[in-house]
Structure 1
Amino acid sequence: VDGKMKAAASTQRLKPLVVLATAFLCLTLARSEEPKQHSTDGDRKKLDYCVVGAGPSGLQMAYFLKKAGRDYRVFEKSNTTGYFFSVYPKHRKLISINKVHTGQQNPEFNLRHDWNSLLSDDPSLLFKHFSRDYFPHADTMVKYLDEYRRKLDLHVQFNSEVRNIRRLPKETPTGHRFQFEDQHGDIYLCKYMIIANGMSKPNEPYFEGHEMTVGYEDVSTDVADFEAKTVLILGRGNSAFETANHVAGVANYVHLLASSPPRFAWSTHYVGDLRAVNNELLDHYQLKSLDGLLEANLNILRLVRTQSGRMALQLRNDSSFNYVPPDDQYDVVVRCLGFVYDDAMFSPCTKPERNPKRNGKFPLIKRDYESANVPDIYFIGSTAHSLDFRETAGGFIHGFRYTARALHRLLEWKNHGVPWPSERRPLAQLVDAIVTRINEASGIYQMHHYLGDVIILDRSKLEFEYLQEFPL
């Protein structure tokens, strides 16, 4: 305890030094970011909207920007759209449903049960034309996203890693507020930054023995590597169970360790929780087939190397918890602890704050998807899921395709004076309009409580104005 108090006091003494160092760095960067006397327009490439990431949310926003005739570009550090899906899930089965038939011909209703398609005016770009599988292969998603980009002629600049995003000390005469570079040293100026790079950084909490584990991002998909091995998997989500199911048939047995029991999607109604398609290992566990689930917090444990060269769990020396780790020794320990938002692309002085909830997993944003501390930086896709985490589908394609559209409409009004799309109709048709939306609408169906229809009554003219999918 005394040691911990000394460490805490030392940390408190260091805090003013850290603040001073950061302030000095920001001042230095601010001076360096001022336009140089020898710079010309050719030195810097100017854009109104810079979208970071050519995954589904970035492409969805690109579609709306292009349709509105805006000056934009999508920057993608890899050589393909949807790079995340070329790697994940590791065992290649998506858990986003692809319901080809619903018994209905209404395209808006059918989108309620199509979790993979992006929005567009082209019906040939519905995902059902690319796969008939209920749970599609991840490679199909990569092909779909590339075809979406190609057919709609979206402006994506590949092999361009955005680095050192910083807000300029003062706006340029042309209204540009941000500057960044790519890995080639090319400089870009942007009025608005839209971050769509997803939750792609593996979550790697430190614990004793961490270096002996292998992450989900690096785990082998060759079952031969797990033949007659005893496996411990850290985590209790879809990636953990997906990995466990893959190796259970050849391993001695598999244990999953987490701080609490699995949350089942069929019970919580949250699509990010453990899905039935991945929970096969629970059968093994409940039917006494060696595989099992363990409950303990990693904070109280350490992973040690035994004399046999294998690994085992032990209580940390400073732990006061009354917990007895299993006696099992493991050949392989795999971390499947999810992903977090990666903010490495930002300058220290323009770094968006992290949401203190969810252990800083998400950036801190306002209801209009704008960074809480850096104006004119917006987040879309899974990075904006903090607003509706565990409540609606904002972290998944069938949710954020609508929040991307909502953000675009907000930007159209804020930056260009374009009003929110609406329809005026006689007041006598109000009930019909509401019932139709209740029965057919997909956006408010997926993003309930966060997007809603707004009705403005004009009693003097006996009319109403109907606005769809407005952020609540």
Structure 2
Amino acid sequence: MGPSGLLVALALHLAVCSRPHRDYCVLGAGPAGLQMAAFLHRAGRDYEVFERESAPGSFFTRYPRHRKLISINKRHTGKANAEFNLRHDWNSLLSDDPHLLFRHYSQAYFPDASDMVRYLGDFARRLGLHVLYNTNITHVTLDKDPQAWNGHYFILTDQKGQVYQCSVLLVATGLAVPKLVDFPGSEYVEGYESVSVDPEDFVGQNVLILGHGNSAFETAENILGVTNFVHMLSRSRVRLSWATHYVGDVRAINNGLLDTYQLKSLDGLLESDLEYLALVKDSKGKFHVTLKFLLENNSSQSADSIPLPEDDNDNFAMRVAYDRVIRCLGWTFDFSIFDQSLRLSSGTEFSKKYPLIKASYESKGSRGLFILGTASHSVDYRKSAGGFIHGFRYTVRAVHRLLEHRHHGIPWPSTEYPITQLTSSIIRRVNEASGLYQMFSVLADIILLKEHQLLPHFPSSWNTLAPSMLSG
């Protein structure tokens, strides 16, 4: 090897050796990232949180757009038991500090999003969590090494080209990429993330909203009093949370348009698959909805010459022209920063929204990579509360306990009782435990009876990592 080759090899060696190394790297200082950081910090682990903004909870500085959270802040239950009260506190993270309960930050039943930003900032500061702010991780890949905990290190590169290395990667970036529509004329559609929130901008207008979820109804609620009418269009029927018992469905606080629709006051709910539609802009700047195949079969493609549908897909209400069309279709995971070697997505429709993970929240493609928070909801989608703070604070705790056992030999927390207290202990857990209450069908307790000592053994809130071992 010549002198130049030696210099290159030396430079590469120094670059690898100079990488800041952490046992644990956490991406994102939102609720899930801070919750994991709190557990790692309390356990004295070597960790770092990477946050692209200058403060925690940046998602809540922008969303929801109309600032009212749908996570309830029930400050009074008539009970003094802190564990029981967490069943009905949907915003607090888990810590040993009684000041870090969300009820100290807002008196509103449905709090303002700015209260969540303030709470998360205090959570990080009071606990002294290690967060690198203004650090945007733009690329993540693997570096195989048989000496590493999982047979490889995770290599993270930020916006300045700084490289970091860690043994375990905990991704808590949430679902941050707006779900887009792709049909002719979709360039005319405004996004929930950028459309005006000032009702005065909608006075006397006809508005079409794409979507039947909370963001769509929240947007409609904001402009109902000033528009001519609002139509809401989606391929699926409206699901109401009080009927489905799923917190992610439309909440009563947002569903004012259902009143005006059912009372025949011009507003409407429409159903059609968006991929079959097309949007055409006329000479007056108004938008007309038709079907894609009708647009494709018309050479002029002007609004006046393209026929409206006249078959089973016809909806007379949609023959009217709209002044605005707004997309409120939810969010997907940002896969763009992850190298394909991490194998986070299979390309199927569901995995375009959520990463591919096991029941343990570990990636199916990369050992040592865990998905936390909202993006982990694929494990219990529409079945439990894992996509929301009051659910994933417990699944994050389960992942931390798994890591403590796997890498540090710390057994899963448990309590031993005399056999005479078995029944009373079970009844107390049933009546008080918050993790099992919120993450039903996902978390469970296991009771182990010692053969000779007749002592029941209660591991606390095991995650369903081995379903055959769990009976409920």
TM-score, length basis structure 2: 0.90
Per the alignment, in what secondary structure is the counterpart of residue 177 of structure 1? Answer: strand
Identity, in percent, stands at 49
- Distance in 1 between residues matched to 2:346 and 2:78, nearest whole Å: 44
One-letter amino acid of the counterpart of residue 453, structure 1? D
Which residue matches 1:447?
Answer: 439
How far 1:349 sits from its partner (Å)?
Answer: 2.4
CA deviations over 1:332-358 (Å, ceiling 9, x no partner):
100000001111111232241247363
Q: Is the CA contact (8 Å cut-off) linking 1:265 and 1:273 kept in structure 2?
A: yes
How far 1:251 sits from its partner (Å)?
Answer: 1.1
Coordinate RMSD, CA, aligned: 1.8
- Distance in 2 between residues matched to 1:415 and 1:357, nearest whole Å: 34
Which residue matches 1:290?
Answer: 266
Which residue matches 1:168?
Answer: 143
Alpha-carbon spacing, 1:269–1:173, altered in 2? closer, same or farther (3 Å): closer
Which residue matches 2:98?
Answer: 123
Per the alignment, in what secondary structure is the counterpart of residue 454 of structure 1? Answer: coil
Does residue 1:275 correspond to 2:251, yes or no? yes
Does residue 1:102 correspond to 2:77, yes or no? yes
One-letter amino acid of the counterpart of residue 203, structure 1? K
Per the alignment, in what secondary structure is the counterpart of residue 414 of structure 1? Answer: helix
Does residue 1:381 correspond to 2:373, yes or no? yes
- Distance in 1 between residues matched to 2:349 and 2:399, nearest whole Å: 23
Which residue matches 1:322?
Answer: 312
Which residue matches 1:111?
Answer: 86
Does residue 1:313 correspond to 2:303, yes or no? no
Relative to structure 2, which stretch is displaced further, 440-449 or 282-291? 282-291
Choose from 204, 216, 228 the match for 1:228: 204
Q: Is the CA contact (8 Å cut-off) linking 2:139 and 2:338 kept in structure 1?
A: yes
How far 1:459 sits from its partner (Å)?
Answer: 2.9
- Distance in 1 between residues matched to 2:148 and 2:452, nearest whole Å: 46
Q: Is the CA contact (8 Å cut-off) linking 1:176 and 1:189 kept in structure 2?
A: no
One-letter amino acid of the counterpart of residue 158, structure 2? D
Relative to structure 2, which stretch is displaced further, 63-72 or 318-327? 318-327
One-letter amino acid of the counterpart of residue 314, structure 1? T
Which residue matches 1:419?
Answer: 411
One-letter amino acid of the counterpart of residue 344, structure 1? S
Does residue 1:398 correspond to 2:390, yes or no? yes
**1:152-167 mapped onto 2 (5 Å cutoff):** 152-167=127-142
- Distance in 1 between residues matched to 2:111 and 2:319, nearest whole Å: 40
Which residue matches 2:178?
Answer: 202
CA deviations over 1:257-300 (Å, ceiling 9, x no partner):
01122000000000000000000011111111111111111111
CA deviations over 1:74-131 (Å, ceiling 9, x no partner):
0001111011111000000000000000010000000000000000001110000010
How far 1:171 sits from its partner (Å)?
Answer: 4.7
- Distance in 1 between residues matched to 2:146 and 2:47, nearest whole Å: 18
Q: Is the CA contact (8 Å cut-off) linking 2:416 and 2:456 kept in structure 1?
A: yes
CA deviations over 1:16-48 (Å, ceiling 9, x no partner):
xxxxxxxxxxxxxxxxxx995441576311110
Relative to structure 2, which stretch is displaced further, 214-223 or 174-183? 174-183
Choose from 363, 376, 387 the match for 1:371: 363
Choose from 32, 43, 52 the match for 1:57: 32
Which residue matches 2:469?
Answer: none
Gaps of 5+ in 1: 1-33
- Distance in 2 between residues matched to 1:140 and 1:355, nearest whole Å: 37
How far 1:154 sits from its partner (Å)?
Answer: 0.5
One-letter amino acid of the counterpart of residue 180, structure 1? L
Per the alignment, in what secondary structure is the counterpart of residue 62 of structure 1? Answer: helix
How far 1:424 sits from its partner (Å)?
Answer: 1.2
One-letter amino acid of the counterpart of residue 75, structure 1? F
CA deviations over 1:432-462 (Å, ceiling 9, x no partner):
1100000100000000110000110013112
Size of the alignment, in residue pairs?
439
- Distance in 2 between residues matched to 1:300 and 1:37, nearest whole Å: 53
Q: Is the CA contact (8 Å cut-off) linking 1:264 and 1:274 kept in structure 2?
A: yes
- Distance in 2 between residues matched to 1:437 and 1:38, nearest whole Å: 54
Does residue 1:332 correspond to 2:324, yes or no? yes
Which residue matches 2:68?
Answer: 93
How far 1:163 sits from its partner (Å)?
Answer: 1.9
Alpha-carbon spacing, 1:40–1:262, altered in 2? closer, same or farther (3 Å): closer
- Distance in 1 between residues matched to 2:141 and 2:32, nearest whole Å: 22
Per the alignment, in what secondary structure is the counterpart of residue 319 of structure 2? Answer: coil
Q: Is the CA contact (8 Å cut-off) linking 2:345 and 2:351 kept in structure 1?
A: no
Choose from 97, 104, 110 the match for 1:135: 110
Q: Is the CA contact (8 Å cut-off) linking 1:256 and 1:293 kept in structure 2?
A: yes
TM-score, length basis structure 1: 0.90
Q: Is the CA contact (8 Å cut-off) linking 1:54 and 1:156 kept in structure 2?
A: yes
Does residue 1:437 correspond to 2:413, yes or no? no
- Distance in 2 between residues matched to 1:441 and 1:65, nearest whole Å: 23
Relative to structure 2, which stretch is displaced further, 184-193 or 34-43? 34-43
Relative to structure 2, which stretch is displaced further, 458-467 or 342-351? 342-351
Relative to structure 2, which stretch is displaced further, 343-352 or 212-221? 343-352
Which residue matches 2:454?
Answer: 462
- Distance in 1 between residues matched to 2:242 and 2:123, nearest whole Å: 32
Q: Is the CA contact (8 Å cut-off) linking 1:371 and 1:377 kept in structure 2?
A: yes
**1:61-80 mapped onto 2 (5 Å cutoff):** 61-80=36-55
CA deviations over 1:227-257 (Å, ceiling 9, x no partner):
1111100000000000001011111111100
- Distance in 2 between residues matched to 1:40 and 1:214, nearest whole Å: 45
Which residue matches 1:19?
Answer: none
Q: Is the CA contact (8 Å cut-off) linking 2:148 and 2:167 kept in structure 1?
A: no
Which residue matches 1:189?
Answer: 165
Per the alignment, in what secondary structure is the counterpart of residue 376 of structure 2? Answer: helix
- Distance in 2 between residues matched to 1:62 and 1:389, nearest whole Å: 25
